[in-house]
A = this chain, B = another copy of it.
Amino acid sequence: MATGRTDPERRENIITSALDLIAEEGVAGTSHRKVAARAGVPLGSMTYHFADMDELLREAFIRFTSSIVAVFEERLGAATTPGQAREAVADLIHHLSTGNQRELVLTHELYTLAARKPTYRELTREWMRRSRRALERHFDPATARQLDALIEGLSIHRALDTEPHERALTLEAIIRITSTGSGPGAQTAALPDA
* Chain B contacts for A145, CB-based, 8 A: 157, 165, 169
* Chain B contacts for A128, CB-based, 8 A: 157, 160-161
Q: Contact string, A167-180, partner B, CB cutoff 8 A, digits 1/0?
A: 01101110111010
**Is A82 at the interface (CB under 8 A from chain B)?**
yes
Please give me the 7 A-B residue pairs with the lowest Cβ-Cβ distance, nearest first. Answer: A153-B153, A83-B194, A149-B153, A152-B153, A83-B193, A81-B193, A146-B173
Number of residues in A with C-beta < 8 Å to the partner? Answer: 59
Q: How many copies of this protein are present in the complex? A: 2
CA distance A172 to B152 in the complex (A): 18
Beyond A172-B142, A187-B175, is A111–B156 a contact (Cβ under 8 Å)? yes
Partner of A115, one of B105, B115, B169, B172: B105
Chain A residues engaging chain B, CB cutoff 8 angstroms: 25-28, 81-84, 86-87, 101, 104-105, 108-109, 111-112, 114-116, 121, 124-125, 128, 142, 145-146, 148-154, 156-158, 160-162, 165, 168-169, 171-173, 175-177, 179, 181, 184-185, 187-188, 191-194
A169 touches B157 (CB 8 A): no
* Chain B contacts for A172, CB-based, 8 A: 142, 146, 184-185, 187-188
